[in-house]
Amino acid sequence: MITRFKRRNNDGPNGQPIPTDENVNSGWAEWQSIRNELESAAPGCGLNMAYVAVTRHANGPHKDHPALCCLSGESPRQTWTFSDLERFTNQAANVFRNLGIGPGQVVATLCGRVPELYLTALGALKAGAVFTALYASYGPEPILHRLVASQAVVLITTRRQYSKIQALRSRLPDLSHVLLIDPPDKPDPGVMHLPALMDAAAEDFHLSPTDPETPALIHFTSGTTGMPKGVVHAHAAALHQLLTGRTVLDLKPDDRYWCTADPGWVTGVVYGFLVPLMAGITTIVDEAEFDVRRWLRILAEERITVWYTAPSALRRLMTLPSKPCREFDLGALRHVFSVGEPLHATAVRWGEDALGVPIRDTWWQSETGGIMIANHPDQPVRPGAMGRPVRGIRAAVVRPAAAGGPTVEICGIGETGELALAAGWPSMFRRLLGDTGAYGRRFAGPWYLSGDLVRCDVEGLFWFLGRADDMIKTAGHMVSPFEVESVLLEYPGVSDAGVVGVPDMHLGQRVRAYLCLATDIPADENLRGRIMAFARKRLGPALAPREIVFIETMPKNQAGKILRRELAKGRP
């Protein structure tokens, strides 16, 4: 019998009781309801993400429903029903079992958005292994760092990707097996052909009972500051992930869903394929790299109803000379959601006009494992707001407490502080790879500290101000880069903005803005002066940038976040 899902009052490292309110209580009830739903379908099986995403649908009335549709720039489209996915992921699970891969061992992928990534990810979860995905665009050192940190024993990749680390295998003592998606060009010990192994594997697989606390996923943080950390999540995360798929993304049985995030980023795994499959809907995956017109064509031709994407992509769409709806039929869209970086108010207003639906921002992190704050589909959108906490989540704005008091104290309405979440939700990360002490430092009593500075208004809406370590102190004023960027993006012709503080002997730091312009806008001193005057009028002289630098492209990491350290070094 499955152990019932319980409140985990000791999830905060110091064991304090978790604060609750009506929103939190309703979330706990819904997590338990989902647990009951999954248990009744498969009593005694525990909780396994792959079962939730594939097997339960393949054994039910949805077995012939299209589950995964893979698009490629070169090959014909491939579509698998849930029944098809069950067979292929069973074969992948048997491949791992035949290789002796046991519970807790790590399976990694290093490839693009190809079918084999999704089949092996789900197969690894069925086999009790832990799955992690690496960006195909990484060079040798980032790949080595992640494979060493995760102690991966299996790597699924291509000949081209494997060539990056082939000569460095001696630095990967844990890596026992390399499974190539394309045929090996020559015999190589420890290197095998994945399709051949799958063809020889049985299509039936017995999924062993899975304790909800069994490790399932490793996501590496974006690494905007310091080395990326490996964040470990358990199968229990499926409870919160499925809840947010239903209540935030509003996924319905007939939806056609597309998340543009690469699986090398946490969103590309959790909401790229796990959550929509858990919800039993058709998921679109596009292998090709970003192309504005291709994306619009996919939205139109695939009749996408729910689209989850990043602000950087939306800004690219905003630079098109004509409204997308005039050339492409986007009438099927019910919802557009944004993730990965703050969504500026101008993008929200543009979305309603150009796409026909408002763009709803969502906030979460690798550590949270699922959406925490969102502009919910049943509520009006406030342009520029992060939104409200999702069901089951208590969020607060906190600051360090006075000496002798508790670790942190809650700020008042409208005050600036750090966004904190009451610990204990099912998708909360369970540990960090390597540094055990680092996990505890992410908490203050029962609160998980996000590192993001925010404020909360009288309506309970949270507003993002910036990362705590990105704030600029100039002439005694604290300046939020995001606040300045939001204003600069409102100036006609500015397509992207990044704001940093640079050393100044008189001011401490001075505010410098890096701007990207639309293709038809010439960068000259005249324009620079007009933008600076616009910013001073909107922000006041204390907060407005004292320098503006025009650049061709904004330096960003794979998750689309601005690399401010590169801007601060003057190396855009």
What's the pLDDT score for residue 222?
64
pLDDT over threshold 60, residue 1: no
Closest Cα partner for 305 from 326, 284, 274, 328?
Answer: 284
pLDDT of residue 334: 96
Residue-wise pLDDT for 115-140, tens only, equals 999 999 999 999 999 999 999 988 88
Which of the four pLDDT bands, split at 50, 70 and 90, describes residue 470? Answer: confident
Give tens-digit pLDDT for 533-546. 998 888 888 788 99
What is the CB neighbour count within 10 angstroms for residue 25? Answer: 13
Could you state, in order of their start, the residue ranges of all structural domains in the chain? 81-235, 471-568
In which band, very low, low, confident or very high, does the pLDDT at 476 lie, cut at 50, 70 and 90? low
Report residue 345's pLDDT band, with 50, 70 and 90 as the boundaries.
Answer: confident
pLDDT of the residue at 333:
95
Question: Which tens digits make up the pLDDT trace of 33-50?
Answer: 999 998 887 777 889 999
Please name the residue that has the structure tokens 């720039």.
Answer: 73
Statement: residue 224 has pLDDT above 60: no
- How sure is the predictor about 404, in pLDDT bands with cuts at 50, 70 and 90? low
Give the pLDDT score at 263.
93
Residue 446: CB atoms within 10 Å: 24
Sheet holding 547-550, edge to edge: 494-504, 508-517, 547-550
Instruction: Give 406's pLDDT tier (boundaries 50, 70, 90).
Output: low
Dihedral over Cα of 526, 528, 529, 533: its sign: positive
- pLDDT tens by residue, 235-291: 999 999 999 999 999 999 999 999 999 999 899 999 999 999 999 999 999 998 888
Model pLDDT for residues 539-572, shown as the tens digit of each residue? 888 788 999 999 988 888 766 778 887 887 765 5
Q: Which residue has the higher pLDDT, 258 or 314?
A: 258
pLDDT tens digits, 139-176: 888 899 899 999 999 999 999 999 999 999 999 999 99
Query: Where is 195: in which H helix or E strand?
Result: helix 194-200
- Give the range among 255-264, 320-329, 394-403, 415-424 with minimum mean pLDDT: 320-329
pLDDT for 377 beyond 50? yes
Mean pLDDT of 480-492: 85
pLDDT over 90 percentage in the chain: 58
CATH number of 81-235, picked from 3.40.470.10, 3.30.365.10, 3.30.110.40, 3.40.50.980: 3.40.50.980
What pLDDT score was predicted for residue 559?
65
Q: Which residues on adjacent β-strands are paired with residue 70?
A: 78, 285
Burial environment of residue 61 by CB neighbours within 10 A (0 to 12, 13 to 18, 19 or more): exposed
407, exposed or middle or buried, with CB in 10 Å at 0-12, 13-18, 19+?
A: middle
Note the pLDDT of residue 361: 95
Q: Topology of domain 471-568, per CATH? A: GMP Synthetase; Chain A, domain 3 (3.30.300)
Predicted TM-score (pTM) of this structure: 0.84
- 3-state SS assignment for residue 274: helix
Model confidence at 294: pLDDT above 50: yes
